[in-house]
Structure 1
Amino acid sequence: MAIQTRTIAYQHAGLTYEGLLAWDDAASGPRPGVAVAHTWAGRTEFEEGKAVELAEHGYVGFALDMFGKGVRGEGTEQCQGLIAPLLEDRVLLQDLVTLGMGVMSEQAEVDAGRVAAMGYCFGGLTVLDLARTGAEVRGVVSFHGLFNAPDNTAGTQITASVLCLHGYDDPMATPDDLVALAQELTTAGADWQVHAYGNTLHAFTNPDANDPGFGAVYSAAADRRSSQALYNFLEEVLA
């Protein structure tokens, strides 16, 4: 087995975006593709590592880009500034993630009929919005994502299966937010699941997260359990 990667540049509204594709060159023929949507810091080694991990499990991983080529954030203020325009313009957010999915699906290594998306924090919201648009993807997975619904998808049927992997004590997505999401997904006819991990805060998959005051702390147990849940889900929806 040899995992290969390549960067792919693509355009939207005059801006260049760049994703990273990862695949196992020992496999023959197209394989299911899974896009990875990044946190509020932009596409980093964390998301690229997840794309490589997906390739090691027999998928094609694609760490997509929501901010523009080379755009990264450091610190709360800068990262908040990067996501603010997309939170204010959810149509743009939805267009960008849809474009990224299309770019992934066009690659020769990818079986365009078997694609899914996953995302972390802001990326969790991103892939939930992809599902909310009624996109023809097999499934989406939100890791400690934000749940607040956009104002342009009410009445749209969700055809993708949805899995939310959630820290129950996440201050950025409270139990009330979780109940509201459940009601939204049910109304939209979605096949949905939520795995809520007790005594678990935001960013529980990130080993560098250690800020209890901000509500973001790594949890080895929740990280392990959510990873297993991810691959069980992908095995089901991408079969």
Structure 2
Amino acid sequence: MPCYVRTLAGSLARGYDLRALWRSVVASGLEFLFPARCVGCGQVGDLLCGACRATLQPLVPPFCDRCGRPLEKGGTCRRCRASMPRIAGIRSAYRFEGAMRQAIHALKYKDVTALALPLAQLLLETVEPMRAHVDLAVPVPLHSRRLRARGYNQAVLVLRELGRILDLPCLESAVQRVRDTPSQVQVGGWENRRENVRGAFRCQDPRVCGQRVLILDDVCTTGSTLVACSESLYAAGAASVRGVTVAREV
């Protein structure tokens, strides 16, 4: 039996999804024919080269202790004092600009799924201090309609890599998006964004009960999506919920 047939048969026997396997085969062939180029500068080699990584702008304190928005001084921002979200805190690793914006767009919209690993690695400095205070992690889910159209959830891909590196249990489908809301990018104003995602998530997974949960998303704008997602986890009995994103609009 030819080796590629044995590989295919073995993969199917182990329960691998045929479409995912085919995508992997195609990606490997394309990588051979078209070597990887940096999404920031186009240089052949790494998907995010050292020079472009050096241009990334980390977010540094002080932050709002709830939504993570950069402040001139620490404490709680005026917006969070008014709304008092229950989420224990949101942190983002980098500004959503330049090479970071290009990397996240390539992961989300151009099928460059191999970027999940370097983006997870860039999150380590932000997440490692939280590890002792977190029992498990979940991704912000896509609505099923959007997931079918894209073929994958970029937050899931990054979370898988992060969970593997940190030995962090991940529940990929613990939270469901029950309303197909417009993209937050299309919704102007903090209050409108908060209303856009209010009640959009549901969690019925008993494994989150009593647990300290970390939610992961790719980009944070106002924090409204993470807050709405956290509310579904608290309703399911989570002991505490905090959020983290690779990047943030500033």
Q: Taking structure 2 as the reference length, what is the TM-score of the superposition? A: 0.37
Rg larger for: 2
Q: Taking structure 1 as the reference length, what is the TM-score of the superposition? A: 0.38
Q: Which has the higher contact order (CA 8 A, sep 6+)?
A: 2
